[in-house]
Homo-oligomer: A and B are copies of this chain.
Amino acid sequence: MTTDQASRLEVEDLQQNLRSVQERLARTHDPAGLRAELDKLHPADLAYILEALPLDERLVVWNLVKAEREGEILLELSDAVRESLIATMDSKELVAAAETLDADEIADLAPDLPEEVVQDVIRALPQEERVLLRAALSYDEGTVGALMEFDQVTVREDVTLEAATRYLRALDELPPHTDQLFVIDRGNKLRGTLPLARLIVSDLERVVGDVMVPESVKLRPEDRAEDAAQAFERYDLVSAPVVDLITGSLVGRVTVNAVMDHIREKSAESQLAEAGLSKEEDVFAPVWNSFKNRWAWLAVNLVTAFVASRVIGAFEGSIEKLVALAALMPIVAGIGGNSGNQTITMIVRALALGQIQSSYWNKLIAKELGVATLNGVVWGGLLGFATYLLYHSVALGGVMALAMLLNLLLAAGMGVAIPALRARFGRDPAVGSSVLITACTDSGGFFIFLGLATLFLL
């Protein structure tokens, strides 16, 4: 039972908290005791409990949470659960919750808040924070600007390390993830960075400018968040400065934590999109909300399935004469779809990592057609033989094998072409690629198989 014991640390602790909250919820009314227990929990742990409770219990717990903690907890929640709680709060509560947060955090929350609440919050903020919030709100999701924080610690190039250290002591506490100070000149222009680890091991009489790292990774607010994430991974960063492209002045910083959240979120999104869910779903969402989250993809699939069905409909005469075709055709379509999905997934990943140069598309398509031919010969041969055994017809077996081969070649060709074309026209090659390829291989597979059968067998 090592795994059970091993996971004790985090997951078990969390689930123990959850069970204890549930017990208190069930065991008549002890709001005071429950409230005391909730107060002791880290906001992230409280968020976990809220996500794991059905709607009615969730609201009971939420109403016991101290007002001044609501903001930080909302930040930790998944979008769907956050929405379910925001829907129960009035404007005054929301403004109060938002006011406990930093500008960059309010900006993260803003898309889920009613417009008038955002305006109220902006009005209630001190001038300096208001400027920062406006700036934070101006960046699109998926950019470095949206990941940025404004709590960086700056230091001037011409002071001694001793003076810098004295300044830091006066701060009492450094913001989380402060692994380096940002060195700026009088015009707020970034000159370099001073890692704390370097500050600590250096002679205190030296000047910041001599000890700092002059060249470091710099981000711009308009950079893609994904590129920033790759830079963090590639160069093992904990924090990175964000500078204005034109003036070179320091705007904020990005920390590894924001990057990690971004990576998780993107990975979750692509996993959900792959399965046809528009966004993260609250497991305890009302039926109607779930329906709304899922209907779009089902509708798209209905259309492609309908098209495939009409392709079959065009060959009803052939099927009437040789009913075995009806039983065999889904195999041809299915294997084509699987194989096409393998190709397209590999290409989309390689494109995202920037591994495919335009000069190599020929090599790639040749390779994929090679793999498809090999697959076609192996699986087509096998299925052709199985067909012959089942229906005692060499011709039907031959048509089956040939149709498998052709549909696999179609899948390989489309598997390279679809992402290549989408990338060329500036679209995200990942979005909906699985639907597109399956639509091609379904309708294509039915057409190829039934067409060959009509030509050669009837």
On A, residues with C-beta under 8 Å from B are 2-3, 5-7, 9-11, 14-15, 18-19, 22, 42, 44-45, 48, 51-52, 54, 143, 165, 168-169, 171-174, 176-179, 196-202, 218-220, 222-224, 227-228, 230-236, 238, 245, 256-257, 259-261, 263-264, 267-268, 270-272, 274-277, 281, 283-285, 287-288, 290-291, 294-295, 297-299, 301-302, 305-306, 308-310, 312-313, 316, 319-320, 323-331, 333-335, 338-339, 341-342, 344-347, 349-350, 353-357, 359-360, 363-364, 367, 370-371, 374-375, 378-379, 382-383, 386, 390, 434, 442, 446
Contact = CB atoms under 8 A, between A and B. Distances in A.
Contact of A169 (B201, B302, B347, B374): B201
Contacts of A172: 201
A6 to B, nearest CB: 4
16 contacts: A3-B224, A6-B227, A7-B223, A7-B227, A11-B227, A173-B201, A233-B261, A277-B345, A277-B346, A283-B355, A283-B364, A284-B360, A285-B367, A313-B324, A320-B323, A323-B323
Contact of A330 (B328, B330, B338, B357): B330
B371 A276 contact: no
Contacts of A328: 309
A143 B6 contact: yes
A9 B342 CA distance: 31
Nearest to A5: B222
A233 B234 CA distance: 19
Given A18-B357, A174-B197, A331-B309, A271 B272 contact: no
Contact of A327 (B5, B313, B356): B313
A290 B345 contact: no
Contacts of A232: 260
Contacts of A339: 294, 298
B200 A165 contact: yes
B342 A327 contact: no
In the A-B complex, the 8 residue pairs with the closest CB atoms: A275-B345, A267-B267, A326-B326, A174-B197, A287-B370, A44-B234, A312-B327, A6-B222
B345 A234 contact: no
The complex is assembled from copies of this chain, and their number is 2
Nearest to A223: B6
Contacts of A320: 320, 323
A97 to B, nearest CB: 20
A159 to B, nearest CB: 15
B201 A196 contact: no
A42 B235 contact: yes
Contacts of A287: 367, 370-371, 374
Nearest to A341: B275
A452 B234 CA distance: 58
B291 A374 contact: yes
B174 A356 contact: no
Given A201-B171, A220-B6, A335-B298, A330 B308 contact: yes
Contacts of A201: 168-169, 171-174
B222 A238 contact: no
Given A6-B223, A316-B326, 10 more contacts: A5-B245, A10-B234, A42-B235, A54-B363, A173-B201, A271-B271, A277-B346, A283-B350, A310-B327, A316-B323
A295 B233 contact: no
A342 B275 contact: yes
Contacts of A434: 275
B9 A219 contact: yes
A36 to B, nearest CB: 19
A399 to B, nearest CB: 15
A458 to B, nearest CB: 14
